[in-house]
Amino acid sequence: MINKVVNDVQEAIAGITDGMTLMLGGFGLCGIPENCIKEIVRQGISGLTCISNNAGVDDFGIGLMLQKHQVKKMIASYVGENAEFERQLLSGELEVELIPQGTLATRCLAAGYGMPAIFTPAGVGTEVADGKEVRNFGGRDYVMEMAFEADFAIVKAWKGDTAGNLIYRKTARNFNPVMAMAGKMTIAEVEELVVVGELDPDHIHTPGIYVHRIFQGQGYEKRIEQRTIRKREGINLAKAVDYAG
Amino acid sequence: MLDKNGIAKRIAQEIKDGYYVNLGIGIPTLVANFIPDGIQVVLQSENGLLGMGPFPYEGEEDADLINAGKQTITMAPGAAVFDSAMSFGMIRAQKVDLTILGAMEVSEYGDIANWKIPGKLVKGMGGAMDLVASAKNIVVAMQQVNKAGESKLLPRCTLPLTGVRCIRKVVTEMAVFEVDSENGGFRLLERAPGVSVEEIRKATAGRFIASGDIPEMRL
């Protein structure tokens, strides 16, 4: 098996330079590549185009990159919860392209599957479809959306092996598998790095062929954006507190 | 007039045994609280989960387990986790039986606007455009009138659209409507307790259709 392991986060992000396009896995702050983001911030790489579902919060995730004005353009589906983001957007410092979440995921998928474009009904008849080809199949309209091209995809997994095989945990999976497939160069940071043979082949979510560099991250903060809980004596309470919805 | 919980309670009646259901953020989230006993539903969260359970007990929150509103949740027995592409794949392929979401405006042809107010900060559409474009069965939970007293059920949406001719049913604090997307119109199906047809008519800017006796909602 080819060894994809790099020694540390510096080595992992080597080659990421000003002006590149990056994909960053995660949904909100869940399953984001914390180590790589911090290192990109430390090195001050700038003029970046970031493809990610969200833009972090003020002081965590991609929000850290925004604070240091490293992001030129953000491609995302939802960008709330970030005051610095709003400020830069309104002042014109930051370019933003908002796209439907399923379109975002599927444009990653197309890249990873070697397909140039997809047709989706999402956005037909709205400003999202402006200037794009719309084609009718079976009486319904679909807008053509292009596969993403990203210089680097940076993903976070739960476990990985030295051959780059990845397993994600719970909803921290989200965009990570499709972004891992979509990068010209894919970096995976994992909570636990194991030797080849330790992961059950049947349990692998991302085959190592898609992963170029892997390392075990450190000091995961795994911040929670909306801490919602129910009371232990909840049995007699209205179901209102019982369901996350 | 219904409060938000009343709207959620009425919408919960749309849920049938065995449904896969996607609940949007806001009033739709409350619908989960009113799912009738004895009905088995599987809640889909578009960040990649089928089988969303209740909020966790204090101390059992897991940063790796959230819903599309980024709230900590749990998984129900039989839950399944998948990636974002598959999540929207099952939505696009119409595997989800019922989608409940909020709206700023709905037109008499079933157009919906719920993601952008020009001149104000735009946070993005998230998964709303994918959901409204593909879901076969969408119920909108919304206020009938805005804070200025103006109807949000319009001949045409004034805000940028999220989807075109996709909404079939609307539940507000005043009424339940079926949208006639062929001919255009809000067909009144039910009234909120104590609200008259005339009051609802006045609060509906789009074409209003009411024929015969309109029953009160049973809550």
Model pLDDT for residues B149-207, shown as the tens digit of each residue: 999 999 999 999 999 999 999 999 999 999 999 999 999 999 999 999 999 999 999 99
Q: How do residues A171-180 score in pLDDT, each as one tens digit? A: 999 999 999 9
Whether B45 and B73 have beta carbons less than 8 Å apart is answered as: yes
CATH number at residue A132: 3.40.1080.10
Does the CB of B26 have a partner CB in chain A at under 8 Å? Answer: no
A242 in any annotated domain: no
Contact across the interface for B57 and A229, Cβ inside 8 Å: yes
State residue B95's pLDDT score: 97
Per the structure, the complete domain to which residue A207 belongs is given by 9-224
A136 in any annotated domain: yes
State residue A80's pLDDT score: 82
Q: Return the domain boundaries, chain B.
A: 4-46+82-209
What is the mean predicted confidence (pLDDT) over B57-85?
A: 96
State residue B129's pLDDT score: 97
pLDDT at B96 over 80: yes
Q: Choose from A60, A101, A222 for mutation: most chain B CBs within 10 A.
A: A101
Across the interface, of A170, A232, A245, the residue whose CB is closest to B64 is A170
Q: Are strands B20-23 and B98-102 parallel, antiparallel or unpaired?
A: parallel
pLDDT at B28 over 60: yes
Neighbouring C-beta atoms of residue A2, cutoff 10 Å:
10
Whether A143 and B163 have beta carbons less than 8 Å apart is answered as: no
Report how far residue B219's alpha carbon sits from residue B211's, in angstroms, rounded to the nearest whole number.
22
A18 in any annotated domain: yes
A237 in any annotated domain: no
Does the CB of B161 have a partner CB in chain A at under 8 Å? Answer: yes
pLDDT at B16 over 50: yes
Contact across the interface for B83 and A123, Cβ inside 8 Å: no
- Please, which residues have CB within 8 angstroms of residue A68's CB and are 6 or more apart in sequence? A41, A44, A46
Using 50, 70 and 90 to split pLDDT, how confident is the model at B119? confident
Mean pLDDT in chain B?
96
Does the CB of B99 have a partner CB in chain A at under 8 Å? Answer: no
Does the CB of B37 have a partner CB in chain A at under 8 Å? Answer: no
Report, as ranges of residue numbers, the positions in chain A whose pLDDT lies below 70.
233-245
A243 in any annotated domain: no
**How big is the A-B interface in CB pairs under 8 Å?**
217
State residue A239's pLDDT score: 45
State residue A233's pLDDT score: 61
Q: Are strands A134-137 and A140-146 parallel, antiparallel or unpaired?
A: antiparallel
What is the mean predicted confidence (pLDDT) over B106-122?
A: 92
A171 in any annotated domain: yes
Q: What would the two tokens of residue A241 be?
A: 């507190």
Report how far residue B132's alpha carbon sits from residue B93's, in angstroms, rounded to the nearest whole number.
12
Contacts of residue B162 in chain A, CB cutoff 8 Å?
Answer: 126
DSSP symbol at B186: E
State residue A244's pLDDT score: 43
Total domains in chain A come to: 1
Contacts of residue B71 in chain A, CB cutoff 8 Å?
Answer: 226-228, 244
Tell me the fold of B4-46+82-209: Glutaconate Coenzyme A-transferase (3.40.1080)
A232 in any annotated domain: no
